[in-house]
Structure 1
Amino acid sequence: MPQLVPYLNFPGNAREAMTFYQECLGGELSIMPFTGTPAAEQVPDAAKDSVMHAILQTGDLLLMASDDPFQPVQDGTGTHLSLNCQSEEEIEQLFARLGEGGNVTMPLAYQFWGAKFGMLTDRYGKSWMFNFDRVQN
């Protein structure tokens, strides 16, 4: 089965966003700007230092991103990044960190399906879902 990897586009602040995600989630962050690549000739001068490709990897989590200098980036409401947490402490910590400067759309609470769950939109307009299954199989 192939691995599904979220790929986020940003309107020029991918470096800032991915650095924030690294601060929240940990892991190794690799950022390649357009500058120094053949693609630099195709982007506007103002975007040459923007992010052509970024990868954040921590454990099994892999998150990729880039800036899009060719078309406006519009955050949609149909996509969420979902984190399945391993403990109460982890879900509380990640919810607080990623929610900093953002907007909580559903506070963390125990749900009828046996999980602690919450949702937020981070400071970069990306929607996140958090889940911790209290009942382990």
Structure 2
Amino acid sequence: MAQINPYIHFNGNAEEAFTFYKSVFGGEFAMIMRFKEMPGVPEGSFSESEADKIMHIALPIGESDVLMGSDTPQSLGKHNENETRSKISISAETRDEADKLFKGLSEGGKIEVPIADSPWGSYFGMFRDKYGIEWIVDFDPKFDGRL
């Protein structure tokens, strides 16, 4: 079966954001590649300030999911972090896990919907983290943690 793995872009702080995500989810990075490490790219192809930025980073989460990301190259221009309305949805396996993830990931961010019992029967909350990424955390006891 196909998998869907979120891929998010940052304006130069991907490594900081992913270090934060790793502190919440745990695990180890499956890959970290910097722009200067890209195969076949001549040395000096990137500015000194961009060479050490993240070209690709991957953090496995759970048994089959991977959160991936990169810094947006300066040549493509800065993207507006407040206009990204996509959300990463996490289906927690327990209510305690939902609380832990919500509390950890929302630290320093802006809570849009506090985590609480929802009218549709799940335990649900939404927020924008301190990096501008929007998240949904949900625990539904009627499901096995995967929708």
> TM-score, normalising length from structure 1?
0.91
Tell me if structure 2 keeps the 8 A contact 1:99–1:120.
Answer: yes
Three-state SS of the structure 2 residue aligned to 1:35 is: helix
| Residues 100-129 of structure 1: CA deviation (Å, up to 9, x unaligned) | 111111001111211000001000000000
Check if 1:61 corresponds to 2:65: yes
> Partners of 1:40 and 1:55 in 2: how far apart?
24
Pick closer, same or farther for the CA change 1:72–1:39 going to 2, 3 Å: farther
Three-state SS of the structure 2 residue aligned to 1:53 is: strand
Pick closer, same or farther for the CA change 1:40–1:108 going to 2, 3 Å: farther
> Partners of 1:91 and 1:50 in 2: how far apart?
31
Pick closer, same or farther for the CA change 1:28–1:39 going to 2, 3 Å: farther
Task: Tell which deviates more after alignment, 32-41 or 125-134.
Answer: 32-41
- Structure 2 counterpart of 1:106: 113
Point out 4+ residue stretches in structure 1 off by more than 4 angstroms: none
- Structure 2 counterpart of 1:34: 35
Tell me if structure 2 keeps the 8 A contact 1:28–1:58.
Answer: no
> Partners of 2:42 and 2:90 in 1: how far apart?
33
| Gaps in structure 1 of 5+ consecutive residues | none
Superposition RMSD in Å: 1.7
* Aligned positions of 1:1-137 closer than 5 A: 1-29=1-29, 30-37=31-38, 38=41, 41-59=44-62, 60-69=64-73, 70=75, 71-75=77-81, 76-136=83-143
> Partners of 2:114 and 2:43 in 1: how far apart?
43
Tell me if structure 2 keeps the 8 A contact 1:8–1:64.
Answer: yes
Identity of aligned residues (%): 37
Structure having the larger proportion of residues in strand: 1
Tell me if structure 2 keeps the 8 A contact 1:6–1:81.
Answer: yes
**Alignment-mate amino acid for residue 21 of structure 1:** Y
> Partners of 1:119 and 1:40 in 2: how far apart?
43
